[in-house]
Amino acid sequence: MREIVFDTETTGLNPMGGDRMVEIGCVEMFNRVETGRHFHAYFNPERLMPSEAEAVHGLTNVFLSDKPLFADRVEELLEFIADSPLVAHNAAFDFGFLNFELERIGRPLVCGSRMVDTLVLARTRHPGAKHSLDALCMRFGVDRSHRVKHGALLDAQLLAQVYVELTGGRQIGLGLVAEAGSVSVAASDRPITVRTFRPARPHFAAAEELDRHRAFIAQLATPLWARFAPAG
């Protein structure tokens, strides 16, 4: 199954209050295995960046001033995500901004039924624990040493690894594939043959071997098992 793990960076918390998306990063997964394909874009928000938001992701007014508008890259984005489920951490936030930008340019919204929220998964699996992306990376041993500030593509790549752990660990990408006379393990759609089974071979003693064994046993004096044989 194809899934897209994504993250956004914004000018603030409320699109209805004038905040805009300034970055999106999307990572493609197939059967919970990263394919290496991704989509990444920065957008000119057509407004100034608040200092509080800049402190989180480091995206400045100068840096974003020559970036394209969301409308300029929307076709590439929609082609990449297609109709796949969309995985995000605190997904309602990212979906809210994505759909706000789509609605703003008159494009159909992304249906909420496609939303997979890793925050909900984490709260269900580890109630009472910390559920930030940093905390989950630490819990599952995902290397986040290169994460100095938030970044949409980097965070999506980290989240993809966390998502695998939240949904069963690395083994979920492996499936047993039945083939004629063999068993294969499929990491995606390309099976890797592990071994071929052969019919069981008959294994029993021949008549002459049984005769030699009985003759050998008859020569034993007071064998141990004779002590436990029933009298009679």
Catalytic residue list: 150
CB 99 within 8 A of CB 109: yes
List the one residue out of 110, 54, 112 whose CA is nearest residue 81: 110
Cα 89 off chain centre by: 13
Compute the distance between CA of residue 133 and CA of residue 12 in angstroms, rounded to an integer.
Answer: 18
Q: Would you list the DSSP string of 36-99?
A: EEEEEEE---SSPPPHHHHHHH---HHHHTTSPPHHHHHHHHHHHHTT--EEETTHHHHHHHHH
Compute the distance between CA of residue 136 and CA of residue 226 in angstroms, rounded to an integer.
Answer: 66
- Sheet arrangement for strand 115-117: 33-42, 21-30, 2-10, 86-88, 115-117
Given its phi and psi angles, is residue 222 left (phi above 0), alpha (psi -120 to 50 degrees) or beta?
left
Pull the structure tokens for residue 61: 């007014």
- Would the annotation count 9 as a binding residue? yes
Residue stretches of the annotated binding site: 7, 9, 52, 57, 155
